[in-house]
């Protein structure tokens, strides 16, 4: 039977476009279906990412895409205690995500991928040698289907989130601020990410919250002007156990590849796109869908342990009261913070988390830890020590 393309990708967001470029550059036919009318719009991201991550993704963004460079991070406890972290070594930037996605689209088109806008995928049927997809009432056939359509809508455990673009004289251009408060943002935090002079992306996420109300409450007594509002859930309980099923491959947020701690997915999802692309090429070249498993193996090798630690930390964090968070802030003296952050990596949170979770005073504050969590912690600590000796 005649097929429309080798690979059909649902979703023209970050990971769909990275996958599209990887596969198209090897001469395979690739189509990307995007339900929105414009790539990158609406923008549903703060765009915080390290230069190291971008270079691993093989992308040096154009100057106009980098809105800002971050030098410090200030963490605030519920009662107003703060921790100041020097972030210069991490080389963290704020991207204009709309422009970034357009740049990714350009790169994919440049090597032959076809992007079809305003086309909403609705269902697929898998056959022995191909997949049939329905979108906007039309049928498409492909050899392999990629699901890159963002957060898994049906999954339990989505955090409600929203982000405003805000003008305020009080924002400091090079400082990211994070506010913990289990009433305003249960299980997560509120962020201020500056992207220009006096302009910042202010966002909040939390279990069961009305995120617009939470940000409005957060901004209530601050002199500011709201310029834009968006809402989009975050999925922080990933990854899925498997990213590949026969001729269907899942990448990015759809595969739960955003970090359980911060929900950052540019790096971990972007790498998913690269690994998926490489496996797709192998599978198409050899006409063997078993090669798709390479993608899963590569991603779990790079991030499997990392995500386990982050999920453990998330489970513990969700149980903490504001009072317990305050007590932890009191223990984290500037010298202890410096010690913990000395080896820290913006893209890999496990070393910071394991070090923090191994401070006796902090463990005492955490209160009840289940036997399973204790075993996990002990084993992760053992692995960490072995790797760092």
Interface with ligand FAD (CB under 6 A): 10-16, 33-36, 44-49, 120-121, 148-150, 161, 163, 203, 232, 234, 252-254, 258, 263-266, 269
Residue 247 CA to residue 288 CA, distance in Å, equals 10
Radius of gyration of the chain (CA): 21
Q: Least CB distance from residue 225 to ligand FAD, whole Å?
A: 20
Of 17 and 289, CB closest to ligand FAD: 17
Q: Are strands 66-70 and 92-95 parallel, antiparallel or unpaired?
A: antiparallel
Q: Least CB distance from residue 285 to ligand FAD, whole Å?
A: 25
Q: Least CB distance from residue 57 to ligand FAD, whole Å?
A: 11
Of 15 and 350, CB closest to ligand FAD: 15
DSSP 347: T
Q: Least CB distance from residue 278 to ligand FAD, whole Å?
A: 17
DSSP 186: T
Q: What are residue 274's phi and psi, to 5 degrees?
A: -65, -50
Q: Least CB distance from residue 40 to ligand FAD, whole Å?
A: 8
H-only helix segments in 220-292: 266-286
Concatenated DSSP letters for 89-143?
Answer: GG-EEEE-HHHHHHHHHHHHHHTT-EEE-S--EEEEEE-SS-EEEEETTEEEEEE
Number of H helices, E strands in the chain: 11, 19
Of 166 and 254, CB closest to ligand FAD: 254
Of 8 and 281, CB closest to ligand FAD: 8
Of 47 and 380, CB closest to ligand FAD: 47
Of 13 and 260, CB closest to ligand FAD: 13
Of 6 and 34, CB closest to ligand FAD: 34
Q: Least CB distance from residue 370 to ligand FAD, whole Å?
A: 29
Q: How far apart are the first and last CA of the chain?
A: 58
C-alpha dihedral (258, 82, 322, 214), degrees to nearest 10: -60
Helix axes 371-388 and 350-357, enclosed angle (nearest 10)? 120
Of 45 and 244, CB closest to ligand FAD: 45
Of 150 and 328, CB closest to ligand FAD: 150
Instruction: Give, in degrees to the nearest 5, the angle at Cα 325 between 317 and 205.
Output: 55
Q: Least CB distance from residue 323 to ligand FAD, whole Å?
A: 28
Q: Least CB distance from residue 25 to ligand FAD, whole Å?
A: 18
Of 140 and 329, CB closest to ligand FAD: 140
Q: Are strands 72-76 and 175-179 parallel, antiparallel or unpaired?
A: parallel
DSSP 243: S
Q: Least CB distance from residue 260 to ligand FAD, whole Å?
A: 12
Long-range contacts made by residues 360-368, C-beta under 8 angstroms, separation at least 24? 361/331, 362/328, 362/331, 365/324, 365/327, 365/328, 365/331, 366/316, 366/320, 366/324, 367/319, 367/324
Concatenated DSSP letters for 292-319?
Answer: GHHHHHHHHHHHHHHHHHHHHHHHHHHH
DSSP 78: T
H-only helix segments in the chain: 14-24, 51-56, 97-110, 211-219, 266-286, 293-319, 322-331, 334-342, 350-357, 360-366, 371-388
Q: Least CB distance from residue 2 to ligand FAD, whole Å?
A: 23
């Amino acid at each position: 039977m005649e097929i429309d393309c080798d690979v059909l990708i649902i979703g023209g967001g970050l990971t769909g476009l990275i996958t599209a470029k990887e596969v198209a550059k090897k001469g395979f036919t690739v189509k990307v279906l995007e339900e929105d009318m414009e790539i990158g719009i609406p923008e549903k991201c703060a765009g915080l990412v390290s230069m190291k991550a971008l270079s691993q993704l093989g992308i040096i963004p154009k100057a106009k895409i980098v809105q800002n460079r971050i030098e410090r991070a200030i963490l605030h406890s519920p009662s107003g205690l703060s921790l100041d972290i020097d972030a210069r070594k991490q080389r963290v930037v704020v991207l204009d995500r709309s422009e970034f996605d357009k740049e990714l689209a350009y790169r994919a088109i440049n090597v032959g991928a076809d992007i079809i806008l305003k086309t909403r995928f609705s269902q697929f049927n898998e056959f022995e040698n191909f997949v049939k997809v329905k979108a906007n009432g039309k049928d498409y056939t492909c050899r392999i289907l990629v699901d890159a359509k963002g957060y898994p809508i049906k999954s339990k455990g989505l955090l409600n989130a929203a982000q405003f673009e805000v003008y305020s004289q009080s924002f400091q251009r090079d400082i990211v601020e994070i506010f913990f408060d289990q009433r305003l943002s249960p299980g997560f935090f509120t962020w201020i990410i500056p992207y220009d002079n006096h302009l910042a992306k202010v966002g909040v996420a939390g279990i069961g919250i009305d995120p617009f109300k939470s940000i409005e409450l957060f901004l209530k007594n601050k002199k500011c002007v709201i310029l834009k509002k968006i809402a989009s859930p975050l999925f922080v309980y990933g990854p899925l156990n498997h990213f590949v099923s026969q001729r269907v491959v899942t990448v990015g947020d759809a595969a739960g590849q955003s970090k359980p701690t911060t929900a950052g997915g540019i790096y971990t999802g972007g790498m998913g796109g690269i690994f998926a692309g490489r496996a797709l090429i192998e599978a198409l070249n050899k006409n063997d869908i078993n090669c798709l498993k390479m993608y899963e193996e590569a991603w779990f090798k790079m991030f499997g342990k990392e995500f386990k630690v982050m999920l453990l930390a998330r489970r513990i964090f969700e149980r903490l009261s504001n009072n317990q968070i305050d007590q932890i802030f009191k223990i984290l003296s500037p010298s202890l913070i410096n010690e913990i952050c000395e080896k820290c990596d913006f893209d890999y949170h496990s070393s910071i988390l394991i070090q923090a979770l191994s401070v006796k005073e902090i463990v005492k504050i955490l209160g009840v830890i289940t036997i399973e969590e204790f075993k996990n912690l002990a084993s992760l600590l053992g692995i960490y020590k072995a790797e760092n000796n």
